[in-house]
C-alpha cells in the first residue's frame, strides 16, 4: 500500500464509527468505502484490529449469518416472538470458552493456599429433598437425585457451584461476587435473585422467580427475567424462552407455593410429600381420584390439610410426619 493511498483514508470517519458516534449515513459511507476496494477492506481490518486489541472488552465477531437467518425466518413464521438465541457454533467461541474455563480453573486452584482451602463441598440427594444454606447465606434446595459441588468458603472472586439435576436457589445479593451455576453445557449467572434450575436428558430449564439471570453457552446468551423460563435444548444446542405461563407448582418442592387447578388429590399429595417431607396414606383408595383447586403460599402443613379436608369433606389426621386421609369421599 502506498503512502499516498494512506493519506486518503477516512481516519476521522473511522474514528467516529468505532467510537459509536456514526450516524446511519456515515455507517453507510463506511460500508460503501469498505466494499469499494480490496485494499480498503484490508485497511479497515487493520484499524478495527487496533481498536479491538487496545481494549480488554468484548471483541467484534460477526455471527454465523446462516444461523441468524434461520432464526429470523423461524421468528417471522411464528409471531408472537420468543427471545431465542442460536449458538454461533464457532471455533473461536469454543476456544474462548475453553480459555475461560481454564482461566477459572487456574484461578480457583491458585487462589487457594493450604489444604483446607482446596476442599470441595459435595452434596447429593436421594429421594428426599435437601435444604441447605451456602457459605454466603444463599439458600439452596436440592430436589431428588441431584448433586451440588462448590469450593468451601466461596473465597474466589465468583461464587461458582456445579449442579446436576434440579435445584432451587435463593441467592443473596453480592454485586462484587457473581453467583454462577454451571450445569451441563451452560452457565447461569446472577447477582442476587431466586430461581430454579432443572436438568433433564433433553433440556436444562431455568425458571426465575425474582430478579433476572443470564443463561449462556459459549458466547451466546439470553436473559431470563422474573416470571420467565429459559430453556437450553441439549441436542439442538439452542437457548430460548418458553412461551408458556410460569409453572408455580414446578417450584413447589422448594418454595411451598402451590397453585392447584382442578387436579387430583393424588397429584396434590405427591407434591406436598416432597415439599414438606411427609408421607400421606390414603385409607380409602377412592379418595385419590378426588379433584380440587386451591392456592397455598408457604402455609404450615396443618393449614394445608385443613383446607383439603374442608374442601373435599375428608378427614386428615397428622401423626408426626405421616398424614392419614379418610372419609366418605368427594362429591358426596
Partner 1 sequence: MDIHFGKAKDQDKLVEECFHTYFEGLHRYAFTILKDNDEAKDAVQAVFLKLWEKRAEINEQQSVKSYLYTAVYHYCLNVKRHEKVKDNYLAQRPPAFEHRNELVSKETHRQIMEHIDNLSPQCRLIFSKSRFEGRKYAEIAADLGLSVKTVEVQMGKALKILRAKLFDVMVMILFACLFL
Give the three-class secondary structure for 230. strand
Quick check: 15 binds partner 1 (CB under 8 A)?
yes
Which residue among 71, 136, 273, 306 contacts partner 1 (CB under 8 A)?
Answer: 71
Instruction: List the interface residues with partner 1, window 107-166 (CB under 8 A).
Output: 157-158
Dist CA 124 CA 37 (whole Å): 62
Of 143, 171, 144, 146, residue with least CA distance to 159:
171
User: Which lies closer to partner 1 via its Cβ, residue 37 or residue 131?
Assistant: 37
Show the beta-strand stretches assigned E in the chain.
84-85, 120-124, 130-133, 139-142, 147-151, 159-164, 166-170, 179-183, 186-190, 194-199, 203-210, 212-217, 220-225, 229-233, 238-241, 257-264, 279-282, 291-297, 315-319, 322-326
Q: How many CA atoms lie within 13 A of 233 on its CB side?
A: 12
Q: For partner 1, how many residues bind (rule: CB under 8 A)?
A: 71
Which residue among 5, 28, 124, 283 contacts partner 1 (CB under 8 A)?
Answer: 28
Dist CA 129 CA 144 (whole Å): 5
Of 108, 67, 100, residue with least CA distance to 85:
67
Q: Compute the least distance from the CB of residue 47 to partner 1, in Å.
A: 5
Instruction: List the interface residues with partner 1, window 250-289 (CB under 8 A).
Output: none
User: Which lies closer to partner 1 via its Cβ, residue 4 or residue 56?
Assistant: 56
User: Which lies closer to partner 1 via its Cβ, residue 3 or residue 116?
Assistant: 3
Quick check: 5 binds partner 1 (CB under 8 A)?
no
Residue 98 to residues 35, 148, 287, Cα–Cα distance (Å): 35, 22, 55
User: Which lies closer to partner 1 via its Cβ, residue 150 or residue 258?
Assistant: 150
Could you give the string, one character per residue 182-211, with x where binding to partner 1 holds by CB under 8 A and - elsewhere? -------xxxxx-----------------x
DSSP, residue by residue, 90-156: -HHHHHHHHHHHHHHHHHHHHT--STTTTPEEEEE-SSS-EEEE-TTS-EEEE-TT-EEEEETT--S
Q: Compute the least distance from the CB of residue 161 to partner 1, in Å.
A: 15
Quick check: 21 binds partner 1 (CB under 8 A)?
yes
Q: Compute the least distance from the CB of residue 277 to partner 1, in Å.
A: 33
Could you give the string, one character per residue 208-227, with x where binding to partner 1 holds by CB under 8 A and - elsewhere? ---xx-x-x--xxx-x----
Instruction: List the interface residues with partner 1, window 81-100 (CB under 8 A).
Output: 81, 83, 85, 92, 95-96, 99-100
Instruction: List the interface residues with partner 1, window 31-70 (CB under 8 A).
Output: 31, 43, 46-47, 50-63, 65, 68-69
71 phi-psi bin (left φ>0, alpha ψ -120 to 50, beta other): alpha
Which residue among 8, 25, 127, 319 contacts partner 1 (CB under 8 A)?
Answer: 25
User: Which lies closer to partner 1 via its Cβ, residue 143 or residue 196?
Assistant: 196
Amino acid at each position: 500500500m502506498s503512502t499516498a493511498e494512506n493519506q486518503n483514508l477516512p481516519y476521522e470517519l473511522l474514528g467516529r464509527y468505532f467510537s459509536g458516534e456514526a450516524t446511519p449515513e456515515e455507517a453507510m459511507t463506511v460500508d460503501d468505502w469498505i466494499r469499494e476496494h480490496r485494499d480498503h477492506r484490508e485497511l479497515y481490518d487493520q484499524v478495527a484490529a487496533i481498536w479491538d486489541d487496545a481494549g480488554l472488552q468484548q471483541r467484534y465477531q460477526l455471527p454465523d449469518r446462516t444461523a441468524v437467518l434461520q432464526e429470523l425466518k423461524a421468528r417471522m413464521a411464528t409471531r408472537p416472538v420468543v427471545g431465542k438465541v442460536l449458538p454461533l457454533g464457532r471455533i473461536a467461541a469454543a476456544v474462548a470458552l475453553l480459555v475461560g474455563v481454564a482461566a477459572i480453573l487456574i484461578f480457583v486452584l491458585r487462589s487457594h493456599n493450604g489444604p483446607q482451602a482446596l476442599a470441595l463441598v459435595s452434596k447429593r440427594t436421594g429421594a428426599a429433598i435437601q435444604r441447605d444454606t451456602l457459605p454466603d447465606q444463599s439458600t439452596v434446595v436440592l430436589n431428588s437425585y441431584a448433586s451440588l459441588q462448590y469450593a468451601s468458603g466461596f473465597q474466589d472472586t465468583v461464587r461458582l457451584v456445579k449442579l446436576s439435576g434440579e435445584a432451587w436457589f435463593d441467592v443473596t445479593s453480592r454485586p462484587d461476587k457473581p453467583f454462577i451455576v454451571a450445569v451441563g453445557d451452560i452457565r447461569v449467572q446472577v447477582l442476587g435473585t431466586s430461581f430454579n434450575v432443572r436438568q433433564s436428558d433433553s433440556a436444562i430449564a431455568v425458571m426465575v422467580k425474582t430478579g433476572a439471570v443470564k443463561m449462556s453457552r459459549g458466547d451466546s446468551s439470553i436473559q431470563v427475567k422474573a416470571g420467565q423460563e429459559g430453556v437450553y435444548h441439549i441436542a439442538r444446542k439452542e437457548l430460548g424462552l418458553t412461551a408458556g405461563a410460569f409453572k408455580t407448582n414446578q417450584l413447589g418442592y422448594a418454595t411451598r407455593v402451590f397453585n392447584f387447578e382442578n387436579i387430583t388429590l393424588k397429584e396434590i399429595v405427591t407434591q406436598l410429600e416432597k415439599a414438606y417431607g411427609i408421607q400421606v396414606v390414603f385409607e380409602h383408595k377412592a379418595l385419590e381420584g378426588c379433584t380440587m383447586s386451591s392456592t397455598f403460599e408457604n402455609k404450615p402443613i396443618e393449614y394445608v390439610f385443613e383446607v383439603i379436608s374442608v374442601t373435599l369433606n375428608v378427614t386428615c389426621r397428622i401423626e408426626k410426619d405421616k398424614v392419614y386421609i379418610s372419609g366418605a369421599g368427594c362429591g358426596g
